[in-house]
Structure 1
Amino acid sequence: MRKSALSALKRITFVAMMGALVGVSMGAATANAATARNGSCEAGEFCLYYNSDHAGSVSDFTSSVPDYGDEQPSCYDFKGAGNGKGLCVKNEAASVWNRTSGPVTVYFNSGYAGPRQTIAAGGKVNLNSDLKNENAAHKFGDGGGTTPPPGGSYGTPATNPHPSATARAPQATKRTQFIDDQIRSLTGEKDCWVGDYRSYESSTSNHNTGNALDCTISNAIGSYPSAAQKEQGWKLARWLQKHAAKLDVRYVIWQGKIWSVARSSEGWRNYTAGSGVTGGHYDHVHVSVQNPHGD
Protein backbone atom coordinates (compact mmCIF):
# COMPACT_ATOMS: atom_id res chain seq x y z
CA MET A 1 0.00 0.00 0.00
CA ARG A 2 1.32 3.44 -0.86
CA LYS A 3 2.26 5.80 1.98
CA SER A 4 -0.38 8.42 1.05
CA ALA A 5 -3.15 5.81 1.02
CA LEU A 6 -1.96 4.41 4.37
CA SER A 7 -2.01 7.89 5.93
CA ALA A 8 -5.52 8.50 4.64
CA LEU A 9 -6.67 5.16 6.07
CA LYS A 10 -5.16 6.07 9.47
CA ARG A 11 -6.98 9.38 9.45
CA ILE A 12 -10.31 7.72 8.63
CA THR A 13 -9.77 5.12 11.35
CA PHE A 14 -8.90 7.80 13.90
CA VAL A 15 -12.00 9.85 13.03
CA ALA A 16 -14.20 6.76 13.24
CA MET A 17 -12.75 5.83 16.64
CA MET A 18 -13.28 9.36 17.97
CA GLY A 19 -16.85 9.32 16.67
CA ALA A 20 -17.48 6.04 18.44
CA LEU A 21 -16.02 7.39 21.69
CA VAL A 22 -18.12 10.54 21.44
CA GLY A 23 -21.17 8.40 20.73
CA VAL A 24 -20.48 6.26 23.78
CA SER A 25 -19.87 9.35 25.89
CA MET A 26 -23.04 11.05 24.69
CA GLY A 27 -25.00 7.85 25.21
CA ALA A 28 -23.75 7.57 28.79
CA ALA A 29 -24.59 11.18 29.48
CA THR A 30 -28.06 10.72 28.07
CA ALA A 31 -28.61 7.62 30.16
CA ASN A 32 -27.36 9.17 33.41
CA ALA A 33 -28.64 12.74 33.20
CA ALA A 34 -32.01 13.51 34.77
CA THR A 35 -34.19 16.35 33.57
CA ALA A 36 -35.68 17.98 36.65
CA ARG A 37 -39.32 19.07 36.69
CA ASN A 38 -40.41 17.23 33.56
CA GLY A 39 -43.03 15.01 35.21
CA SER A 40 -41.03 11.81 34.82
CA CYS A 41 -39.20 10.06 37.66
CA GLU A 42 -35.71 9.42 36.29
CA ALA A 43 -32.50 8.02 37.75
CA GLY A 44 -30.87 10.53 40.08
CA GLU A 45 -34.15 12.16 41.08
CA PHE A 46 -36.36 12.27 44.18
CA CYS A 47 -40.02 12.03 43.26
CA LEU A 48 -43.27 12.85 45.05
CA TYR A 49 -46.53 11.19 44.00
CA TYR A 50 -50.02 12.56 44.56
CA ASN A 51 -51.51 9.16 45.41
CA SER A 52 -50.35 6.25 47.55
CA ASP A 53 -48.50 3.34 45.92
CA HIS A 54 -46.83 5.71 43.42
CA ALA A 55 -49.97 6.53 41.51
CA GLY A 56 -51.26 9.82 40.21
CA SER A 57 -49.20 12.78 39.05
CA VAL A 58 -45.48 12.91 39.90
CA SER A 59 -43.21 15.83 40.81
CA ASP A 60 -39.50 15.16 40.23
CA PHE A 61 -36.52 16.90 41.89
CA THR A 62 -32.73 16.86 41.53
CA SER A 63 -31.96 18.94 44.64
CA SER A 64 -33.17 19.85 48.14
CA VAL A 65 -36.16 22.17 48.57
CA PRO A 66 -36.66 23.96 51.93
CA ASP A 67 -40.24 25.06 51.15
CA TYR A 68 -42.47 23.76 48.36
CA GLY A 69 -44.61 26.94 48.40
CA ASP A 70 -48.33 27.32 48.97
CA GLU A 71 -49.78 28.61 45.73
CA GLN A 72 -49.25 29.09 42.03
CA PRO A 73 -47.32 30.43 40.26
CA SER A 74 -44.51 30.21 42.81
CA CYS A 75 -45.09 26.73 44.26
CA TYR A 76 -43.56 23.45 43.12
CA ASP A 77 -46.38 21.49 41.49
CA PHE A 78 -47.17 18.01 40.25
CA LYS A 79 -46.03 17.77 36.62
CA GLY A 80 -46.87 14.26 35.42
CA ALA A 81 -50.17 13.01 34.03
CA GLY A 82 -52.82 11.73 36.42
CA ASN A 83 -54.62 12.77 39.59
CA GLY A 84 -53.24 15.93 41.17
CA LYS A 85 -51.53 17.35 38.07
CA GLY A 86 -50.99 21.07 38.48
CA LEU A 87 -51.60 21.12 42.24
CA CYS A 88 -48.91 22.43 44.59
CA VAL A 89 -47.06 19.48 46.13
CA LYS A 90 -46.97 21.02 49.61
CA ASN A 91 -49.11 18.88 51.90
CA GLU A 92 -50.44 16.88 48.96
CA ALA A 93 -47.94 14.01 48.46
CA ALA A 94 -48.80 10.47 49.55
CA SER A 95 -45.84 8.40 48.31
CA VAL A 96 -42.22 8.89 47.20
CA TRP A 97 -39.48 7.24 45.17
CA ASN A 98 -35.85 8.02 45.96
CA ARG A 99 -33.85 7.37 42.81
CA THR A 100 -30.79 9.23 44.10
CA SER A 101 -27.64 7.58 45.44
CA GLY A 102 -28.15 8.76 49.04
CA PRO A 103 -30.87 9.23 51.66
CA VAL A 104 -33.52 11.93 51.30
CA THR A 105 -35.60 13.18 54.24
CA VAL A 106 -39.12 14.58 53.91
CA TYR A 107 -40.15 17.17 56.51
CA PHE A 108 -43.49 18.18 58.00
CA ASN A 109 -42.50 21.85 58.25
CA SER A 110 -40.72 24.22 55.91
CA GLY A 111 -37.07 24.91 56.66
CA TYR A 112 -36.36 21.21 57.28
CA ALA A 113 -38.15 21.13 60.63
CA GLY A 114 -40.73 19.11 62.53
CA PRO A 115 -41.62 15.44 62.12
CA ARG A 116 -39.62 13.77 59.36
CA GLN A 117 -39.20 10.54 57.43
CA THR A 118 -35.96 9.45 55.77
CA ILE A 119 -36.10 7.40 52.57
CA ALA A 120 -33.00 5.36 51.78
CA ALA A 121 -31.39 5.38 48.33
CA GLY A 122 -33.63 3.41 46.00
CA GLY A 123 -36.53 3.48 48.46
CA LYS A 124 -40.00 3.42 46.96
CA VAL A 125 -42.48 3.85 49.81
CA ASN A 126 -45.71 5.42 50.99
CA LEU A 127 -45.24 8.34 53.38
CA ASN A 128 -46.07 7.46 56.97
CA SER A 129 -49.19 8.74 58.75
CA ASP A 130 -47.36 11.83 60.05
CA LEU A 131 -46.09 12.91 56.63
CA LYS A 132 -48.83 11.75 54.24
CA ASN A 133 -50.38 14.93 52.83
CA GLU A 134 -48.36 16.83 55.45
CA ASN A 135 -45.13 17.45 53.52
CA ALA A 136 -43.45 20.86 53.29
CA ALA A 137 -39.80 20.20 52.36
CA HIS A 138 -37.19 17.57 51.51
CA LYS A 139 -33.43 17.45 51.89
CA PHE A 140 -30.91 15.40 49.89
CA GLY A 141 -28.18 13.46 51.67
CA ASP A 142 -30.00 13.81 54.97
CA GLY A 143 -30.23 10.72 57.16
CA GLY A 144 -32.44 12.45 59.70
CA GLY A 145 -34.49 9.39 60.58
CA THR A 146 -38.15 9.36 61.57
CA THR A 147 -39.71 11.30 64.42
CA PRO A 148 -43.20 11.43 65.92
CA PRO A 149 -45.13 14.71 66.18
CA PRO A 150 -44.10 17.06 69.00
CA GLY A 151 -45.15 15.71 72.40
CA GLY A 152 -48.88 16.01 72.91
CA SER A 153 -49.43 18.23 69.89
CA TYR A 154 -51.44 17.33 66.82
CA GLY A 155 -52.33 13.90 68.12
CA THR A 156 -55.33 11.94 66.88
CA PRO A 157 -58.59 13.36 68.25
CA ALA A 158 -61.41 11.35 69.78
CA THR A 159 -64.47 10.66 67.66
CA ASN A 160 -67.09 13.36 67.96
CA PRO A 161 -70.02 11.76 69.86
CA HIS A 162 -72.56 14.58 69.44
CA PRO A 163 -75.39 14.57 66.86
CA SER A 164 -75.96 17.25 64.27
CA ALA A 165 -77.81 20.18 65.86
CA THR A 166 -78.29 23.94 65.82
CA ALA A 167 -77.88 26.68 68.43
CA ARG A 168 -77.83 30.47 68.24
CA ALA A 169 -74.54 32.36 68.08
CA PRO A 170 -72.51 33.06 70.13
CA GLN A 171 -73.47 29.70 71.64
CA ALA A 172 -71.77 26.65 70.11
CA THR A 173 -73.53 23.36 69.54
CA LYS A 174 -72.19 20.44 71.53
CA ARG A 175 -70.70 19.07 68.32
CA THR A 176 -68.84 22.35 67.70
CA GLN A 177 -67.75 22.67 71.33
CA PHE A 178 -66.26 19.18 71.15
CA ILE A 179 -64.09 20.29 68.19
CA ASP A 180 -63.02 23.41 70.07
CA ASP A 181 -62.02 21.29 73.07
CA GLN A 182 -60.03 18.89 70.88
CA ILE A 183 -58.24 21.79 69.19
CA ARG A 184 -57.27 23.24 72.56
CA SER A 185 -56.03 19.99 74.05
CA LEU A 186 -54.22 18.55 71.03
CA THR A 187 -52.90 21.54 69.06
CA GLY A 188 -52.52 24.22 71.72
CA GLU A 189 -54.65 26.73 69.77
CA LYS A 190 -56.81 28.53 72.33
CA ASP A 191 -58.28 31.46 70.41
CA CYS A 192 -61.23 29.85 68.62
CA TRP A 193 -64.76 31.20 68.86
CA VAL A 194 -68.23 31.03 67.27
CA GLY A 195 -68.61 34.80 67.33
CA ASP A 196 -71.63 37.05 67.76
CA TYR A 197 -74.85 36.56 65.83
CA ARG A 198 -74.46 38.08 62.36
CA SER A 199 -77.53 39.96 61.21
CA TYR A 200 -76.07 40.33 57.73
CA GLU A 201 -75.98 36.55 57.27
CA SER A 202 -78.75 34.00 56.91
CA SER A 203 -80.21 32.76 60.18
CA THR A 204 -79.18 29.26 59.08
CA SER A 205 -75.53 30.12 58.36
CA ASN A 206 -72.91 27.97 60.03
CA HIS A 207 -71.81 30.72 62.40
CA ASN A 208 -75.32 31.83 63.32
CA THR A 209 -76.35 28.26 64.14
CA GLY A 210 -73.27 27.64 66.29
CA ASN A 211 -71.72 25.30 63.75
CA ALA A 212 -68.51 27.14 62.88
CA LEU A 213 -65.35 28.28 64.60
CA ASP A 214 -62.85 30.99 63.72
CA CYS A 215 -59.36 30.46 65.17
CA THR A 216 -57.17 33.59 65.22
CA ILE A 217 -53.65 32.83 64.00
CA SER A 218 -52.13 36.28 63.47
CA ASN A 219 -51.45 38.76 66.26
CA ALA A 220 -54.91 40.25 65.75
CA ILE A 221 -57.85 40.06 63.37
CA GLY A 222 -57.12 42.35 60.46
CA SER A 223 -53.35 41.76 60.45
CA TYR A 224 -51.42 39.36 58.26
CA PRO A 225 -49.60 36.51 60.00
CA SER A 226 -45.84 36.20 60.22
CA ALA A 227 -44.13 33.38 58.33
CA ALA A 228 -44.11 31.27 61.50
CA GLN A 229 -47.79 32.02 62.19
CA LYS A 230 -48.68 31.15 58.61
CA GLU A 231 -47.01 27.76 59.05
CA GLN A 232 -48.80 27.37 62.37
CA GLY A 233 -52.14 28.05 60.67
CA TRP A 234 -51.44 25.46 58.00
CA LYS A 235 -50.60 22.88 60.66
CA LEU A 236 -54.00 23.45 62.26
CA ALA A 237 -55.83 23.51 58.92
CA ARG A 238 -54.17 20.27 57.77
CA TRP A 239 -54.90 18.62 61.11
CA LEU A 240 -58.60 19.50 60.76
CA GLN A 241 -58.54 18.18 57.19
CA LYS A 242 -56.80 14.97 58.20
CA HIS A 243 -59.28 14.22 60.99
CA ALA A 244 -62.41 15.62 59.36
CA ALA A 245 -64.26 12.29 59.59
CA LYS A 246 -63.58 11.84 63.31
CA LEU A 247 -64.39 15.45 64.19
CA ASP A 248 -67.41 15.87 61.86
CA VAL A 249 -65.73 18.76 60.01
CA ARG A 250 -67.48 19.98 56.87
CA TYR A 251 -64.90 22.38 55.42
CA VAL A 252 -61.84 24.44 56.37
CA ILE A 253 -60.67 27.83 55.04
CA TRP A 254 -57.18 29.36 55.43
CA GLN A 255 -54.92 31.65 53.40
CA GLY A 256 -57.40 32.13 50.57
CA LYS A 257 -57.84 28.36 50.20
CA ILE A 258 -60.76 26.06 51.03
CA TRP A 259 -60.91 22.31 51.52
CA SER A 260 -64.24 20.52 51.86
CA VAL A 261 -65.36 16.96 52.50
CA ALA A 262 -67.79 17.18 49.58
CA ARG A 263 -64.98 18.03 47.13
CA SER A 264 -62.05 16.43 48.91
CA SER A 265 -60.70 14.90 45.69
CA GLU A 266 -59.93 18.44 44.46
CA GLY A 267 -57.66 19.23 47.40
CA TRP A 268 -57.28 22.85 48.51
CA ARG A 269 -59.12 25.14 46.09
CA ASN A 270 -59.02 28.91 45.73
CA TYR A 271 -61.54 30.57 48.05
CA THR A 272 -63.39 33.29 46.15
CA ALA A 273 -66.28 34.18 48.48
CA GLY A 274 -64.23 36.74 50.40
CA SER A 275 -61.24 39.04 49.95
CA GLY A 276 -58.81 41.04 52.05
CA VAL A 277 -57.06 39.96 55.23
CA THR A 278 -60.15 38.74 57.08
CA GLY A 279 -62.50 38.01 54.18
CA GLY A 280 -59.85 35.82 52.57
CA HIS A 281 -59.12 34.13 55.91
CA TYR A 282 -55.47 35.15 56.08
CA ASP A 283 -55.67 36.05 59.78
CA HIS A 284 -57.79 33.13 61.02
CA VAL A 285 -58.60 29.51 60.25
CA HIS A 286 -62.32 28.89 59.70
CA VAL A 287 -63.82 25.46 60.33
CA SER A 288 -67.43 24.60 59.58
CA VAL A 289 -69.12 21.63 61.21
CA GLN A 290 -71.46 19.08 59.68
CA ASN A 291 -74.96 20.39 60.46
CA PRO A 292 -78.62 20.17 59.38
CA HIS A 293 -78.37 23.26 57.14
CA GLY A 294 -75.27 22.28 55.17
CA ASP A 295 -73.10 25.06 53.74
Structure 2
Amino acid sequence: MLKKFTLVAMMGALISVSFGAATANAATARNGECESGEFCLFYNSDQGGSVSDFTTSVSDYGDEQPGCYDFKGAGNGKGLCVKNEAASVWNRTGSPVTVYFNSGYGGSKQTIAANTKANLNSDLKNENASHKLNDSGSGGGGGGTGGTYGAPNDNPHPSATARAPQATKRTQHVDDEIRRLTGETHCWVGDYRSNEPSDSNHNTGNALDCTISNAIGQHPNAAQKEQGWKLANWLKKYASKLDVRYVIWQGKIWSVARASEGWRTYNGGSGVTSGHYDHVHVSIQNPHGD
Protein backbone atom coordinates (compact mmCIF):
# COMPACT_ATOMS: atom_id res chain seq x y z
CA MET A 1 0.00 0.00 0.00
CA LEU A 2 2.87 2.36 0.78
CA LYS A 3 4.43 1.83 -2.67
CA LYS A 4 1.09 2.47 -4.36
CA PHE A 5 0.61 5.72 -2.45
CA THR A 6 4.15 6.86 -3.25
CA LEU A 7 3.65 6.23 -6.98
CA VAL A 8 0.39 8.19 -7.01
CA ALA A 9 2.03 11.06 -5.15
CA MET A 10 4.93 11.13 -7.59
CA MET A 11 2.57 11.18 -10.57
CA GLY A 12 0.66 14.06 -9.01
CA ALA A 13 3.87 15.96 -8.50
CA LEU A 14 4.90 15.44 -12.13
CA ILE A 15 1.50 16.63 -13.37
CA SER A 16 1.79 19.70 -11.15
CA VAL A 17 5.26 20.50 -12.50
CA SER A 18 4.04 20.01 -16.06
CA PHE A 19 1.12 22.41 -15.64
CA GLY A 20 3.35 24.91 -13.86
CA ALA A 21 5.80 24.91 -16.77
CA ALA A 22 3.01 25.45 -19.30
CA THR A 23 1.73 28.41 -17.32
CA ALA A 24 5.19 29.93 -17.04
CA ASN A 25 5.72 29.71 -20.81
CA ALA A 26 2.37 31.24 -21.76
CA ALA A 27 2.57 34.57 -23.60
CA THR A 28 1.70 37.67 -21.61
CA ALA A 29 -0.15 40.13 -23.81
CA ARG A 30 0.85 43.80 -23.87
CA ASN A 31 4.06 43.41 -21.86
CA GLY A 32 6.42 44.80 -24.50
CA GLU A 33 7.97 41.45 -25.40
CA CYS A 34 7.28 39.45 -28.55
CA GLU A 35 6.63 35.98 -27.16
CA SER A 36 5.60 32.68 -28.71
CA GLY A 37 1.90 32.73 -29.63
CA GLU A 38 1.76 36.50 -30.18
CA PHE A 39 1.48 38.82 -33.17
CA CYS A 40 3.83 41.78 -32.84
CA LEU A 41 4.13 45.20 -34.49
CA PHE A 42 7.47 47.03 -34.53
CA TYR A 43 8.10 50.75 -34.89
CA ASN A 44 11.11 50.27 -37.20
CA SER A 45 11.79 48.00 -40.17
CA ASP A 46 13.43 44.60 -39.65
CA GLN A 47 11.78 44.15 -36.25
CA GLY A 48 13.59 47.14 -34.79
CA GLY A 49 12.53 49.77 -32.28
CA SER A 50 9.73 49.41 -29.77
CA VAL A 51 7.34 46.44 -30.00
CA SER A 52 3.61 46.13 -29.41
CA ASP A 53 2.51 42.55 -28.72
CA PHE A 54 -0.97 41.08 -29.19
CA THR A 55 -2.76 37.80 -28.50
CA THR A 56 -6.06 38.86 -30.13
CA SER A 57 -7.34 40.55 -33.27
CA VAL A 58 -7.78 44.34 -33.07
CA SER A 59 -10.27 46.08 -35.36
CA ASP A 60 -9.10 49.62 -34.53
CA TYR A 61 -5.84 50.51 -32.80
CA GLY A 62 -7.18 53.93 -31.75
CA ASP A 63 -5.90 57.40 -32.56
CA GLU A 64 -4.68 58.84 -29.27
CA GLN A 65 -3.72 58.17 -25.68
CA PRO A 66 -4.98 57.00 -23.30
CA GLY A 67 -7.31 54.85 -25.37
CA CYS A 68 -5.02 53.69 -28.18
CA TYR A 69 -2.88 50.57 -28.42
CA ASP A 70 0.71 51.77 -28.09
CA PHE A 71 4.27 50.53 -28.46
CA LYS A 72 5.31 48.97 -25.16
CA GLY A 73 8.89 47.74 -25.54
CA ALA A 74 12.11 49.70 -25.20
CA GLY A 75 13.48 51.58 -28.21
CA ASN A 76 12.34 54.07 -30.84
CA GLY A 77 8.60 54.74 -30.79
CA LYS A 78 7.90 53.62 -27.23
CA GLY A 79 4.62 55.13 -26.02
CA LEU A 80 3.36 56.12 -29.47
CA CYS A 81 0.03 54.81 -30.74
CA VAL A 82 0.67 51.95 -33.18
CA LYS A 83 -1.95 53.16 -35.68
CA ASN A 84 -0.17 54.38 -38.81
CA GLU A 85 3.24 53.96 -37.16
CA ALA A 86 4.30 50.30 -37.60
CA ALA A 87 7.02 49.36 -40.11
CA SER A 88 7.51 45.62 -39.53
CA VAL A 89 5.89 42.62 -37.86
CA TRP A 90 6.61 39.21 -36.38
CA ASN A 91 3.85 36.63 -36.49
CA ARG A 92 4.65 34.14 -33.73
CA THR A 93 1.23 32.50 -33.90
CA GLY A 94 0.54 29.20 -35.63
CA SER A 95 -1.82 30.75 -38.20
CA PRO A 96 -1.69 33.57 -40.79
CA VAL A 97 -2.37 37.13 -39.64
CA THR A 98 -3.49 39.96 -41.94
CA VAL A 99 -2.71 43.64 -41.39
CA TYR A 100 -5.21 46.12 -42.86
CA PHE A 101 -4.97 49.74 -44.00
CA ASN A 102 -8.35 50.65 -42.53
CA SER A 103 -10.07 50.04 -39.24
CA GLY A 104 -12.61 47.24 -39.30
CA TYR A 105 -10.30 45.01 -41.38
CA GLY A 106 -10.79 46.97 -44.61
CA GLY A 107 -8.74 48.39 -47.44
CA SER A 108 -5.32 47.31 -48.61
CA LYS A 109 -3.90 44.36 -46.72
CA GLN A 110 -0.86 42.18 -46.22
CA THR A 111 -1.00 38.63 -44.92
CA ILE A 112 1.90 37.34 -42.83
CA ALA A 113 2.34 33.57 -42.68
CA ALA A 114 2.60 31.72 -39.38
CA ASN A 115 5.94 32.05 -37.56
CA THR A 116 7.21 34.66 -40.03
CA LYS A 117 8.98 38.02 -39.77
CA ALA A 118 8.24 40.66 -42.42
CA ASN A 119 8.50 44.33 -43.26
CA LEU A 120 5.16 45.94 -44.09
CA ASN A 121 4.76 46.70 -47.78
CA SER A 122 4.57 50.22 -49.27
CA ASP A 123 0.78 50.36 -48.81
CA LEU A 124 0.87 49.38 -45.13
CA LYS A 125 4.15 50.78 -43.79
CA ASN A 126 3.19 53.50 -41.30
CA GLU A 127 -0.39 53.21 -42.57
CA ASN A 128 -1.78 50.34 -40.48
CA ALA A 129 -5.13 50.50 -38.68
CA SER A 130 -6.10 46.93 -37.75
CA HIS A 131 -5.02 43.28 -37.81
CA LYS A 132 -6.87 39.99 -37.74
CA LEU A 133 -5.52 36.72 -36.38
CA ASN A 134 -6.11 33.41 -38.16
CA ASP A 135 -6.98 35.38 -41.29
CA SER A 136 -5.67 34.69 -44.77
CA GLY A 137 -6.86 38.05 -46.10
CA SER A 138 -10.64 37.65 -46.25
CA GLY A 139 -11.14 40.82 -44.24
CA GLY A 140 -14.26 42.12 -42.58
CA GLY A 141 -15.26 45.10 -44.70
CA GLY A 142 -15.88 48.63 -43.49
CA GLY A 143 -13.80 51.76 -43.45
CA GLY A 144 -13.84 52.77 -47.12
CA THR A 145 -11.79 51.50 -50.02
CA GLY A 146 -8.45 51.75 -48.29
CA GLY A 147 -5.08 51.57 -49.93
CA THR A 148 -2.77 54.44 -50.61
CA TYR A 149 -2.61 56.89 -53.51
CA GLY A 150 0.06 56.89 -56.18
CA ALA A 151 3.36 58.75 -55.91
CA PRO A 152 3.15 62.46 -56.84
CA ASN A 153 5.51 64.33 -59.12
CA ASP A 154 8.38 66.10 -57.39
CA ASN A 155 7.62 69.71 -56.51
CA PRO A 156 9.79 71.78 -58.89
CA HIS A 157 9.01 75.22 -57.49
CA PRO A 158 11.24 77.25 -55.14
CA SER A 159 10.18 78.51 -51.74
CA ALA A 160 8.20 81.75 -52.12
CA THR A 161 5.41 83.86 -50.69
CA ALA A 162 2.15 85.20 -52.07
CA ARG A 163 -0.89 86.80 -50.46
CA ALA A 164 -3.99 84.77 -49.62
CA PRO A 165 -6.20 83.73 -51.25
CA GLN A 166 -3.52 83.30 -53.91
CA ALA A 167 -1.36 80.18 -53.62
CA THR A 168 2.36 80.11 -54.31
CA LYS A 169 3.44 77.95 -57.24
CA ARG A 170 4.84 75.44 -54.75
CA THR A 171 1.49 75.23 -52.95
CA GLN A 172 -0.45 75.10 -56.22
CA HIS A 173 1.62 72.07 -57.24
CA VAL A 174 0.52 70.28 -54.06
CA ASP A 175 -3.11 71.19 -54.73
CA ASP A 176 -2.84 69.96 -58.32
CA GLU A 177 -1.28 66.64 -57.25
CA ILE A 178 -3.94 66.14 -54.57
CA ARG A 179 -6.67 66.63 -57.18
CA ARG A 180 -4.93 64.45 -59.77
CA LEU A 181 -4.10 61.49 -57.54
CA THR A 182 -6.58 61.49 -54.65
CA GLY A 183 -9.75 62.96 -56.13
CA GLU A 184 -10.00 65.51 -53.30
CA THR A 185 -11.26 68.75 -54.85
CA HIS A 186 -12.04 70.88 -51.80
CA CYS A 187 -8.61 72.21 -50.86
CA TRP A 188 -8.20 75.96 -50.46
CA VAL A 189 -5.69 78.55 -49.28
CA GLY A 190 -8.62 80.57 -47.98
CA ASP A 191 -9.07 84.30 -47.53
CA TYR A 192 -6.46 86.54 -45.93
CA ARG A 193 -6.76 86.25 -42.16
CA SER A 194 -6.34 89.58 -40.40
CA ASN A 195 -6.30 87.86 -37.01
CA GLU A 196 -3.13 85.98 -37.96
CA PRO A 197 0.41 87.30 -38.57
CA SER A 198 0.97 88.54 -42.11
CA ASP A 199 3.70 85.92 -42.57
CA SER A 200 1.56 82.95 -41.46
CA ASN A 201 1.44 79.95 -43.76
CA HIS A 202 -2.10 80.65 -44.95
CA ASN A 203 -1.59 84.38 -45.41
CA THR A 204 1.55 83.80 -47.51
CA GLY A 205 -0.17 81.21 -49.71
CA ASN A 206 1.81 78.33 -48.22
CA ALA A 207 -0.97 76.21 -46.71
CA LEU A 208 -4.09 74.37 -47.79
CA ASP A 209 -7.20 73.28 -45.90
CA CYS A 210 -8.95 70.26 -47.42
CA THR A 211 -12.55 69.88 -46.27
CA ILE A 212 -13.35 66.23 -45.48
CA SER A 213 -16.69 66.34 -43.65
CA ASN A 214 -19.95 67.44 -45.26
CA ALA A 215 -19.33 71.01 -44.13
CA ILE A 216 -16.90 73.02 -42.01
CA GLY A 217 -18.00 72.77 -38.38
CA GLN A 218 -19.36 69.23 -38.76
CA HIS A 219 -17.64 66.08 -37.58
CA PRO A 220 -16.93 63.57 -40.38
CA ASN A 221 -18.68 60.21 -40.48
CA ALA A 222 -16.65 57.03 -40.14
CA ALA A 223 -15.95 56.67 -43.85
CA GLN A 224 -14.93 60.34 -44.16
CA LYS A 225 -12.63 59.98 -41.15
CA GLU A 226 -10.81 57.10 -42.87
CA GLN A 227 -10.75 59.16 -46.08
CA GLY A 228 -9.09 62.00 -44.18
CA TRP A 229 -6.48 59.68 -42.70
CA LYS A 230 -5.79 58.31 -46.15
CA LEU A 231 -5.07 61.82 -47.45
CA ALA A 232 -3.11 62.86 -44.35
CA ASN A 233 -0.89 59.78 -44.46
CA TRP A 234 -0.33 60.21 -48.19
CA LEU A 235 0.87 63.77 -47.55
CA LYS A 236 3.10 62.44 -44.77
CA LYS A 237 4.45 59.62 -46.92
CA TYR A 238 5.40 61.91 -49.81
CA ALA A 239 6.37 64.98 -47.78
CA SER A 240 9.85 65.12 -49.33
CA LYS A 241 8.48 64.95 -52.90
CA LEU A 242 5.81 67.57 -52.27
CA ASP A 243 7.89 69.84 -49.99
CA VAL A 244 5.36 69.42 -47.18
CA ARG A 245 6.30 70.92 -43.81
CA TYR A 246 3.55 69.52 -41.58
CA VAL A 247 0.04 67.99 -41.66
CA ILE A 248 -2.82 68.28 -39.12
CA TRP A 249 -5.89 66.03 -38.91
CA GLN A 250 -8.20 64.78 -36.13
CA GLY A 251 -6.38 66.60 -33.35
CA LYS A 252 -3.02 65.17 -34.47
CA ILE A 253 -0.01 66.79 -36.10
CA TRP A 254 2.91 65.29 -38.01
CA SER A 255 5.88 67.40 -39.00
CA VAL A 256 9.10 66.88 -40.91
CA ALA A 257 11.06 68.50 -38.08
CA ARG A 258 9.77 65.95 -35.55
CA ALA A 259 9.10 63.02 -37.86
CA SER A 260 10.62 60.53 -35.43
CA GLU A 261 7.75 61.25 -33.01
CA GLY A 262 5.07 60.21 -35.50
CA TRP A 263 1.56 61.64 -35.13
CA ARG A 264 1.45 63.62 -31.90
CA THR A 265 -1.25 65.61 -30.12
CA TYR A 266 -2.05 68.98 -31.71
CA ASN A 267 -2.45 71.74 -29.14
CA GLY A 268 -3.83 74.47 -31.38
CA GLY A 269 -7.46 73.92 -30.36
CA SER A 270 -10.02 71.29 -29.46
CA GLY A 271 -13.07 72.42 -31.42
CA VAL A 272 -14.32 70.73 -34.58
CA THR A 273 -12.50 73.23 -36.81
CA SER A 274 -9.71 74.47 -34.53
CA GLY A 275 -8.76 70.85 -33.79
CA HIS A 276 -8.89 70.01 -37.51
CA TYR A 277 -11.57 67.33 -37.18
CA ASP A 278 -13.45 68.55 -40.26
CA HIS A 279 -10.50 69.32 -42.56
CA VAL A 280 -6.93 68.25 -43.26
CA HIS A 281 -4.40 71.08 -43.02
CA VAL A 282 -1.11 70.89 -44.93
CA SER A 283 1.65 73.50 -44.70
CA ILE A 284 4.31 73.79 -47.38
CA GLN A 285 8.02 74.47 -46.85
CA ASN A 286 8.40 78.25 -47.01
CA PRO A 287 10.75 81.11 -45.98
CA HIS A 288 8.85 81.88 -42.77
CA GLY A 289 8.86 78.40 -41.22
CA ASP A 290 6.05 77.44 -38.86
TM-score, length of structure 1 as denominator length:
0.93
Corresponding position of 2:10 = 16
Q: CA deviation at 1:274?
A: 2.1
Match of 1:273 among 268, 280, 284: 268
Q: 1:21, 1:294 → 2: CA distance? A: 68
The higher radius of gyration belongs to 1
Corresponding position of 1:71 = 64
Q: CA deviation at 1:94?
A: 0.3
Alignment of 1:1-295 (within 5 A): 7-31=1-25, 33-144=26-137, 154-295=149-290
Q: CA deviation at 1:151?
A: 11
More helix by share: 1
**1:144-196 deviation line (CA, Å, top 9, x unaligned):** 289xxx79961111100111010000000000000001111111111000000
Q: Is the 8 A contact 1:254 1:281 kept in 2?
A: yes
**1:93-142 deviation line (CA, Å, top 9, x unaligned):** 00000001111010011111111100000110110111000000111111
Q: 1:254, 1:9 → 2: CA distance? A: 74
Q: CA deviation at 1:220?
A: 0.5
Q: CA deviation at 1:88?
A: 0.7
- Structure 1 segments (4+ residues) deviating >2 Å: 7-10, 28-31, 150-153
Q: CA deviation at 1:28?
A: 2.8
Q: 1:157, 1:227 → 2: CA distance? A: 26
- Unmatched 5+ stretches in structure 2: 140-144
Q: CA deviation at 1:58?
A: 0.6
Q: 1:248 to 1:110 in 2, by over 3 A?
A: same
CA RMSD of aligned residues (A): 1.8
Q: 1:152 to 1:238 in 2, by over 3 A?
A: closer
SS of aligned partner of 1:82? coil
Q: 1:84, 1:94 → 2: CA distance? A: 11
Question: Which one-letter code corresponds to 1:68 in the other structure?
Answer: Y
SS of aligned partner of 1:125? strand
SS of aligned partner of 1:168? coil
- Unmatched 5+ stretches in structure 1: 1-6
Q: 1:136, 1:283 → 2: CA distance? A: 20
Q: Is the 8 A contact 1:254 1:280 kept in 2?
A: yes
TM-score, length of structure 2 as denominator length:
0.95
